[in-house]
Amino acid sequence: MADYRKTSDAIAALSPEQYHITQESGTERPGTGQYLYNKEPGIYVDIVSGEPLFASSDKYESGCGWPSFTKPIEPANVAELRDASLGMVRTEVRSAHGDSHLGHVFDDGPRDRGGLRYCINSASLRFVHRDDMEAQGYGAYLPQVEEVG
């Protein structure tokens, strides 16, 4: 099992936007994230810790302006917390090992796929293409990532 954790080096390597979103619970502007329209096969990992979070096969177009997923690839890596900021109650999603703010989860996702919508900031993620997963230590997740083509 890999050692996924937050390190000072990983924090220092973040861009100002990545830092604001992951460490200060910020949000990127809707429609601006680099992975919003990514349709390549692979997995999305925490930008800070590298822990596997979501698979491309669980990504879908929700129209909300952020990458949306129906479920985590590794549920133990995604912590859900009550968020009462902004005058409403939502469920914040954070990485379990890196403690990065990822986004929020809502119950308006596709009913036939569990009904959840994990609305995630691109800046909190790093995409690992299916072709690179084995070399980067994510080979165990290959069966959960559909090949395209």
Residues assigned a catalytic role: 119
* CA–CA gap between residue 70 and residue 119 (Å, rounded): 9
Q: Which residue's entry shows tokens 């129209």? A: 63
The tokens describing 99, both together, are 């403690």
Backbone conformation region of residue 140, classed left if phi is above 0, alpha if psi is from -120 to 50, else beta: alpha
* CA–CA gap between residue 122 and residue 66 (Å, rounded): 7
Q: Quick check: 52 and 43 in contact, CB under 8 A?
A: yes
Is residue 9 classed as helix, strand or coil in its secondary structure? Answer: helix
Helices and strands of the chain, counted as H and E runs: 3, 9
Integer CA distances (angstroms), 49 to 52, 65, 102, in order: 9, 25, 12
